[in-house]
Amino acid sequence: MNITDFIFQFFSYGILIYSVSLLLFYVLIVICSIAEIKLYIRKSSFTDYNLLASSEYAPTVSILAPAYNEGANIIENVRSLLAVHYNNIELIVINDGSKDDSLQKLIEAYNLVKIPFLVNEKIKTKPIRGIYKSNNSLYHKLIVVDKINGGKADALNTGINVASNKYLVCIDVDCILEQDAMLKLIKPFLEETKKRVIATGGVIRIANSCEIVNGKLVKVHLPKQLLPRMQSLEYIRAFLLGRMAWSRMNGLLIISGAFGAFDREIAIKAGGYNAATVGEDMELIVRMRRYMHENKLPYKVSFIPDPLCWTEVPGSYKILGRQRNRWTRGTIETLQIHKKMFFNHRFGILGIISYPYWFFFELLAPLIEFSGFVFFIISLISGYIKWPFSILLPGFIVAFGFLYSIFAILIEVLTFNQYKRRSDIFKLILISFAEPIFFHPFVVWSAVRGNIDFLRKKKSWGEMTRQGFNSQKSINHLRA
The answer to whether the beta carbons of residues 203 and 417 sit under 8 Å apart is: no
The answer to whether the beta carbons of residues 29 and 362 sit under 8 Å apart is: no
The residue among 392 and 464 lying less far from other proteins, judged by its C-beta, is 392
Q: Which residues contact 268 (CB under 8 A, 6 or more apart)?
A: 122, 123, 160
Minimal distance, residue 268 CB to other proteins, in Å: 12
Segments in 166-316 forming alpha helices (H): 181-191, 226-236, 244-248, 264-269, 280-294
The residue among 356 and 395 lying less far from other proteins, judged by its C-beta, is 395
Minimal distance, residue 200 CB to other proteins, in Å: 13
The residue among 190 and 276 lying less far from other proteins, judged by its C-beta, is 190
The answer to whether the beta carbons of residues 70 and 96 sit under 8 Å apart is: no
The residue among 348 and 394 lying less far from other proteins, judged by its C-beta, is 394
Q: Which residues contact 303 (CB under 8 A, 6 or more apart)?
A: 200, 201, 202, 243, 244, 246, 247, 252, 255
Which residues of this protein are in contact with other proteins, per CB under 8 A? 1, 6, 9-10, 13, 16, 42-43, 45-46, 50-52, 54-59, 87, 115-118, 120, 138, 179, 187, 189-194, 213-214, 218, 388-389, 392-393, 395-396, 399-400, 402-403, 406-407, 409-410, 413-414, 422, 425, 429
Q: Which residues contact 103 (CB under 8 A, 6 or more apart)?
A: 95, 144, 146
Burial of 437 (0-12, 13-18, 19+ CB in 10 A): exposed
Dihedral of alpha carbons 158, 60, 261, 63, sign: negative
The residue among 142 and 254 lying less far from other proteins, judged by its C-beta, is 142
The residue among 56 and 463 lying less far from other proteins, judged by its C-beta, is 56
The residue among 342 and 433 lying less far from other proteins, judged by its C-beta, is 433
Minimal distance, residue 291 CB to other proteins, in Å: 18
The answer to whether the beta carbons of residues 142 and 126 sit under 8 Å apart is: no
Would you put residue 118 in left (φ > 0), alpha (ψ -120 to 50) or beta?
Answer: beta
Minimal distance, residue 193 CB to other proteins, in Å: 4
The answer to whether the beta carbons of residues 338 and 315 sit under 8 Å apart is: no
The answer to whether the beta carbons of residues 93 and 65 sit under 8 Å apart is: yes
Minimal distance, residue 12 CB to other proteins, in Å: 8
The residue among 45 and 460 lying less far from other proteins, judged by its C-beta, is 45
The answer to whether the beta carbons of residues 223 and 208 sit under 8 Å apart is: yes
Minimal distance, residue 46 CB to other proteins, in Å: 6
Minimal distance, residue 254 CB to other proteins, in Å: 25
Minimal distance, residue 353 CB to other proteins, in Å: 26
Minimal distance, residue 447 CB to other proteins, in Å: 26
Segments in 147-212 forming alpha helices (H): 152-162, 181-191
Measure the CA–CA gap between 309 and 217, rounded to whole angstroms. 10
The residue among 173 and 217 lying less far from other proteins, judged by its C-beta, is 217
